[in-house]
Structure 1
């Protein structure tokens, strides 16, 4: 049996990463609700191969693989650290290289991390419009976590964890609905009208 393939993108430049921790925590929540195939990529893995590329043809093999994973995913969980009120430039550059039609109707769960609450609206003012361009299906609940919501890189704030669980449940529900609506292997025959 093939499970929905969820690709997590953590737009972080370092490890350990709170952004990656948040993306992984939400992916784990989705996995508790429904069977999935989940992989996470972060920019620290592909930064140089991505940043030096002006086009898809100039990507390193690792960066090209991440781009292919994004474009062929059944769903995405994306996260970015917030710098000066927005996502990082390299995060945006990655999505600038995504085919404009590749994410149409793909469920995308939006997350971000930042130093404080004043960055919380980045998910609504920057991430949601970005994925609106792609005509992706953004999950209604987005998750923002600030520095104080983590201890030793682990999300511990109960309110943020509850929001992450709610968002994960919404994504799992969408994946479940799509699995039910997927065409069956056996064609359905309609009875002839009498």
Structure 2
């Protein structure tokens, strides 16, 4: 394992602009402050039309196959999606239907979601966590959920959400440090910077 960690951010929002993208960007920026990561973003908004009617990888365009391989070859996944009508977008789930069955085994995954109200907050633990548990991923203990009240013009303005992001990264660091002992971790105090 090299000292640079491959972070792949999977945004399950089929639209732009997206609060999900803003939340995932904040989480990846917090990781980048404490870990030596190389970040790649796989955005459903960019590939939704290409995967929507495809039932097997053999029928995917080359650029989508590249995105799937990036997910499978990640050292760390950061995955998030918006909640629509009480569930994750179907195309987000379909994206993971195309991922190799053993490709994510043992990989650390941070999970996040956004939704219209607090009523959907359990999607993190009732849909995202089981999805990655199925892949035998190492789903990190704390997820993040945000509502429109946490944002102003696609900018995170809620101090509780900012604190939650810091908490998630702080709790993930001991696990990640154990998984990537050769990486040069910066102190958790740099999160607040």
TM-score by length of 1: 0.89
Alignment of 1:92 onto 2:93: yes
1:189 aligns with none
SS at match of 1:140: coil
Alignment of 1:16 onto 2:21: no
Greater shift in the superposed pair: 167-176 or 120-129? 167-176
Q: Which runs of 5+ in 2 are unaligned?
A: 184-193
The answer to whether the 8 Å contact 1:108/1:137 transfers is: yes
Q: Which structure's CA Rg is the greater one? A: 1
After superposition, the CA RMSD in angstroms is 1.4
More relative contact order, 1 or 2 (CA 8 Å, 6+ apart): 2
1:26 aligns with 27
CA distance in 1, matches of 2:53, 2:64: 11
1:176 aligns with 177
Structure 1 residue 135, shift from structure 2 partner: 0.7
Q: Which runs of 5+ in 1 are unaligned?
A: 183-194
Runs of 4+ in 1 over 6 A off after TM superposition: none
TM-score by length of 2: 0.90
SS at match of 1:31: helix
Greater shift in the superposed pair: 78-87 or 162-171? 162-171
Greater shift in the superposed pair: 2-11 or 87-96? 2-11
The answer to whether the 8 Å contact 1:107/1:171 transfers is: no
